[in-house]
């Protein structure tokens, strides 16, 4: 929705924000460790203002359709944000929109469009992609064109402080070009540890930096003949004092339309790329904020220049800089300019949004993500395991309220989640470890489902799709006791067989699993996932039979026949039933309480 400032997209009202019900920080918050690009180290996260966190993430340059290389960064920082919310922090999350840029102007002209028309069209495409993949709307989403006045004021501060210069013509009139004077700023390079030099040496170091960029891969926004971060024409100007100097404001090109020009004290022109984020982050987060995020390709020169110009203006910069790694395809970074970029609509035409979200967030944010058939197959398998447990648990708890409501899931604080999940998330958002904790809890939940089936004396029922012969009393007690020991505790529930029924333990496990998934943006019963189908069935929050229940009835009849065959030592028949189910894509797992099935 739009805020009072028509150039700023307002994300959510306070009432709409998830997980903010926790007014106090969880004890786990004190143990959060995050990586900082500037220090090259993982360190304890301490917010500037107790209880509050300010995050600025560089958003898209809306020149064309989004692909999953763009969206990976959005998903990565969405998970960071969700964990901070789960820890009890009040998070202000700002993600900008770059809606004025050489590429936007040039592509619009080639397509016979107004530049602002093109920018708005693709801004909406990005928003649709974020929404489809469950990325929470930002608190504020400012457009660059709505903050030109802020940029002009900021450039004036930098000039007044002696760290920028205005290029003038032969008559002494400002040309519209303003450059940051790198030589005047001794701390330049502190983010990426660039060495300071000048003249020819500086050119050599720039070449080395470009060589490093070549080895790492091209920018997701690269375009044109030079696929590796093509320079802004203004940055190649002979008017610069030093090859390292970069444009804060630039005069218009002859082809620039009149609507893409602003009149300023230093001449007519438009903003340089780097100045935009300094102005907008300061506008919404103040003189210093906690985290500045973005893709790895933004480290240099964009974030290096941003840090320098912000501090040169007399402001503090972000306390911590975090960068998400790239999506790669066959080992090479995914990019439209390389011809291997996959658009979000194309990917969603092949798989559900939940599966794509899981795949994009399946590794720690600083790790490269290889996009392949195997990655997607693993995500589909994960959905099958997760949805199978959640749906069967909800059915088994039908007489005890069924699925817990969303409000109960979002109210679970970090301190009530399983220790291994909390430890993983506090370890620089180790998503792989957190996912392992989720599947550990699911295995515990499946054991409880088997116990319920055995307690009821049924060989497979709609309660959980379990089958097998009933155990003697002592064996059942041992199994329930072990399940109780393994089951997660939620909101102070006792975790003993004597103090809680199997249904209590199952419900606690279900809440725990869904709360952990919700922290990763993957609770299947949350928007926008409700009703997404994979394979033979779908998860539904409502009552009534599902395709899964029908399938369960058919399979459990077969499993019951197999159990009878095994009991009479007719192993050939038992094996034949198992083989026929396996051939149909049904995996059978035998346990002490009987057999369970899942989609292979």
Write down the residue that tokens 């690269």 correspond to: 222
Residues whose CB falls within 8 Å of the CB of residue 542, separated by 6 or more in sequence, listed in order: none
pLDDT at 555: 82
3-state secondary structure of 390: helix
For residue 136, give the nearest of 514, 528, 533, 540 by alpha carbon. 528
- Start-end of H helices in 133-272: 148-160, 199-216
For residue 386, give the nearest of 592, 553, 532 by alpha carbon. 532
CA 340 – CA 328 distance, rounded (Å): 9
3-state secondary structure of 103: helix
Count of other CB atoms within 10 angstroms of residue 568: 10
pLDDT at 59: 95
Residues whose CB falls within 8 Å of the CB of residue 49, separated by 6 or more in sequence, listed in order: none
Q: In what order do the strands lie in the sheet with 594-599?
A: 466-467, 594-599, 586-591
CA 309 – CA 321 distance, rounded (Å): 16
Name the token pair of 537: 């069935």
**Helix (H) and strand (E) counts for the chain?**
17, 21
Backbone angles phi, psi at 475, to 5 degrees: -65, -40
| CA distance to 389, 487, 495, per residue, from 442 (Å) | 7, 9, 16
Beta bridge partners of residue 55, listed in sequence order: 93, 291
pLDDT less than 50: residues of the chain:
1-6, 9-10, 12-23, 199-200, 202-204, 206-214, 216-230, 458-477, 479, 491-497, 533-546
Contact 86/330 with Cβ under 8 angstroms?
A: no
pLDDT at 491: 43
Contact 228/222 with Cβ under 8 angstroms?
A: yes
Q: How many residues does the chain have?
A: 600
Contact 514/409 with Cβ under 8 angstroms?
A: yes
Q: Are strands 327-329 and 164-168 parallel, antiparallel or unpaired?
A: unpaired
Write down the residue that tokens 């080895």 correspond to: 215
Cis omega (within 30 of 0) on the bond before 377?
no
Count of other CB atoms within 10 angstroms of residue 21: 13
3-state secondary structure of 48: coil
Write down the residue that tokens 């069967």 correspond to: 392
Q: Domain 1-340 has what CATH class?
A: alpha beta
Q: What is the 3-state secondary structure (H, E, C) of 437-460?
A: HHHHHHHHHHHHHHHHHHHCCCCC
For residue 437, give the nearest of 367, 488, 508 by alpha carbon. 488
| Domain extent listing, the chain | 1-340, 374-599
CA 421 – CA 435 distance, rounded (Å): 8
pLDDT at 549: 55
Name the token pair of 33: 């460790």
Residues whose CB falls within 8 Å of the CB of residue 568, separated by 6 or more in sequence, listed in order: none
Write down the residue that tokens 């504020």 correspond to: 140
CA 271 – CA 291 distance, rounded (Å): 24
CA 466 – CA 322 distance, rounded (Å): 46
CA within 13 Å, CB half, 239: 22
Name the token pair of 240: 């610069």
Radius of gyration of the chain (CA): 28
Please state at what angle helix 473-486 crosses helix 431-455, rounded to 10 degrees: 160
Name the token pair of 6: 């028509």
């Amino acid at each position: 929705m739009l805020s009072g400032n028509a150039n700023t997209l307002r994300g959510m009202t306070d009432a709409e924000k998830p997980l903010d019900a926790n007014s106090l920080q969880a004890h786990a918050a004190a143990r959060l460790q995050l990586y900082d690009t500037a220090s090259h180290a993982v360190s304890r996260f301490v917010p500037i203002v107790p209880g509050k966190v300010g995050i600025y993430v560089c958003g898209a340059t809306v020149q064309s359709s989004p692909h999953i290389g763009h969206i990976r960064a959005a998903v990565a920082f969405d998970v960071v944000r969700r964990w901070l919310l789960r820890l009890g922090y009040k998070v202000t999350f700002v993600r900008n929109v770059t809606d004025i840029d050489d590429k936007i102007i040039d592509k619009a002209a080639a397509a016979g469009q107004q530049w602002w028309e093109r920018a708005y069209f693709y801004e909406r495409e990005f928003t649709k992609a974020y929404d489809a993949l469950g990325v929470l709307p930002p608190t504020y989403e400012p457009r660059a064109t709505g903050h030109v006045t802020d940029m002009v004021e900021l450039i004036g501060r930098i000039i007044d402080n002696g760290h920028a210069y205005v290029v003038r013509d032969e008559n002494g009139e400002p040309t519209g070009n303003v450059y940051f004077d790198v030589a005047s700023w001794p701390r330049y390079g502190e983010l990426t540890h660039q060495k300071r030099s000048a003249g020819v040496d500086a050119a050599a170091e720039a070449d080395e930096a470009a060589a490093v960029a070549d080895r790492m891969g091209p920018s997701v926004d690269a375009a044109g003949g030079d696929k590796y971060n093509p320079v802004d024409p203004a940055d190649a100007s002979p008017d610069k004092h030093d090859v390292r100097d970069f444009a804060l404001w630039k005069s218009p090109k002859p082809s620039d339309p009149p609507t893409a020009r602003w009149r300023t004290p230093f001449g007519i022109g438009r903003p340089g790329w780097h100045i935009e984020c300094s102005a907008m982050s300061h506008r919404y987060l103040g003189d210093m904020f906690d985290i500045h995020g973005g893709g790895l390709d933004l480290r240099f020169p964009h974030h290096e220049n941003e840090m320098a110009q912000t501090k040169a203006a007399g402001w503090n910069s972000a306390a911590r800089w975090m960068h998400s790694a790239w999506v790669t395809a066959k080992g090479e970074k995914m990019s439209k300019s390389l011809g291997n970029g996959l658009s979000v609509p194309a990917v969603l035409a092949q798989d559900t949004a939940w599966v794509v979200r899981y795949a994009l967030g399946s590794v720690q944010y600083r790790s490269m993500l290889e996009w392949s058939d195997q990655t997607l197959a693993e995500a589909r398998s994960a959905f099958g395991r997760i949805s199978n447990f959640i749906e069967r648990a909800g059915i088994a708890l039908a007489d005890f309220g069924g699925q817990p409501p969303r409000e109960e899931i979002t109210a679970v604080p970090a301190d009530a989640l399983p220790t291994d999940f909390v430890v993983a998330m506090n370890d620089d958002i180790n998503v792989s470890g957190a996912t392992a904790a989720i599947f550990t809890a699911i295995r515990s939940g499946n054991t409880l489902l088997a116990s319920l089936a055995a307690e009821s004396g049924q060989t497979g029922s709609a309660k959980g799709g379990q089958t097998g012969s009933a155990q003697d009393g002592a064996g059942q007690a041992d199994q329930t006791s072990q399940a109780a020991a393994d089951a997660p505790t939620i909101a102070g529930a006792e975790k003993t067989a004597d103090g809680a029924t199997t249904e209590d333990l199952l419900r606690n496990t279900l809440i725990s699993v869904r709360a952990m998934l919700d922290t990763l943006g993957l609770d299947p019963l949350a928007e926008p996932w409700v009703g997404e189908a994979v394979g033979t069935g779908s998860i539904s929050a409502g009552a009534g039979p599902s395709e899964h229940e029908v399938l369960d009835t058919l399979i459990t009849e077969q499993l019951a026949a197999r159990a009878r065959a095994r009991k009479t030592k007719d192993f050939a028949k038992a094996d034949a039933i198992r083989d026929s189910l396996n051939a149909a894509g049904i995996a059978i797992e035998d346990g002490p309480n009987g057999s369970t099935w899942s989609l292979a």
